[in-house]
Amino acid sequence: MSAYSLLVTNEERPKAGRSLPQLSAYVRVSTAGQAESGLGLDAQRETIERSCELHGFSVGAWFEDAGRSGARMSNRPALQDALAEIRSGRSAGLVCAKLDRLGRSAAEVLTLAEQAKREGWRLLILDCSADTQSLSGEVVLMSLAMAARIEHVRIAERQREKHEALRRAGRARGRKAVDRDLADRIIDLRDGGLTWQAVADALNLEKIPTARSGALWRPSSVQSAYRTRQRELLAQTG
C-alpha cells in the first residue's frame, strides 16, 4: 500500500454504484531526454491510473508538458489547457501524480489550491495526498502553507545577510548607489538642520546628478541616500 493511500478515510472512498467525476490528468517532465524516453511520463500516468478508484475519480483527458524545466505554471501550455478545460465545465478538476511535477514551490501550488477552492473544482496531488475536497487533504495543504511560510522567511533572511555583508564592505546592494562622498555630504546637511526638501533643493540648485540619470533630487531620494549610508557606516563599525 502506498503512503498516500493510508490517508484516505472510509468517508472519502467512493460509494458503490456512484459515477466518478472526471478530472483532467496533468503530467510533466523537465528535460528533452526524459520526454523522449517516456519513462517519467509513463510512471506518472501509471500512478494516476492506479489511483482512480481509490480516490474516487476517472480521467477525462490527459495533458502533458514534456521537456519544460523551471517554467512557472503560467508558462506551461498543457497545464493552461487543462485549467481551461476545467473552467469550461468539461472537467471537475485536476489530478497530478507528484507535487514537484505541478509547481516549482509550495507557495505556487498553494495559490492554485486556493484558486480551486474559490472556483469550486478539485485539485488532487497524489504523492503527498493534497486534496481540496477531503479533510485529510486539507491538512496536507495546511502543512504546505507552513512549508511555504518557512521558505519565504529563509529567503528573506538570506537576503538580509547578503545586504548586511555588502554594507559592511561599503558596496551597493544591487541598484546604483549614491556616491559615498555625496552621501556623506547629505548626512552633514541633514544633521546640520536642513529639511529633506531643503537638502534636495540645494543639490538640484548645484545640478548634482542623482543615482538615476536625468532625475531630480526629491525628499524621498535624499532620505533614501541618507539612510543607506547610515546603515553602511553602522555595519562597518559593528
Higher pLDDT among residues 149 and 54, named by residue:
54
Asked about 30 being catalytic, the answer comes back as yes
Q: Which of 71, 153, 137, 82 is nearest to 108 (CA)?
A: 71
What b-and-e string marks burial along 170-180, b requiring 16 or more CB atoms within 10 Å of the CB? eeeeeeebbee
Q: Is 44 exposed, middle or buried (0-12, 13-18, 19+ CB in 10 A)?
A: buried
Please tell me the pTM assigned to this model.
0.55
Q: Determine the residue type at 193.
A: G
* Domain residue ranges of the chain, discontinuous segments joined by +: 4-147, 180-237
Tallying the residues shown for the chain, one arrives at: 238
Taking only the tens place, the pLDDT of each residue in 170-206 is: 555 545 568 888 888 899 898 888 999 999 999 988 8
Confidence class of residue 3 from pLDDT cuts 50, 70 and 90?
very low
Query: 2-6, 7-11, 130-134, 214-218: which range is least confident on average?
Result: 2-6
12-16: Cβ within 8 A, 24+ apart: 12/55, 12/56, 12/134, 12/135, 12/136, 13/54, 13/56, 14/53, 14/56
Cross-strand pairs, 124: 95, 131
pLDDT at 73: 86
- Name the active-site residue from 2, 30, 37, 69: 30
For residue 61 the three cell numbers come to 483527458
Residue 168 CB partners (closer than 8 Å, separation 6+): 232, 235, 236, 238
d(CA 106, CA 116): 15
pLDDT for residue 1 is more than 50: no
Percent of the chain with pLDDT over 70: 75
Would you identify the CATH topology of the domain 4-147? Rossmann fold (3.40.50)
What mean pLDDT is predicted for residues 91-112? Answer: 88
pLDDT for residue 86 is more than 50: yes
Taking only the tens place, the pLDDT of each residue in 6-45 is: 333 444 444 544 577 899 999 998 765 555 555 689 999 9
The listed range with the strongest mean pLDDT (31-35, 130-134, 135-139) is 130-134
Is the Cβ–Cβ distance between 94 and 23 less than 8 Å? yes
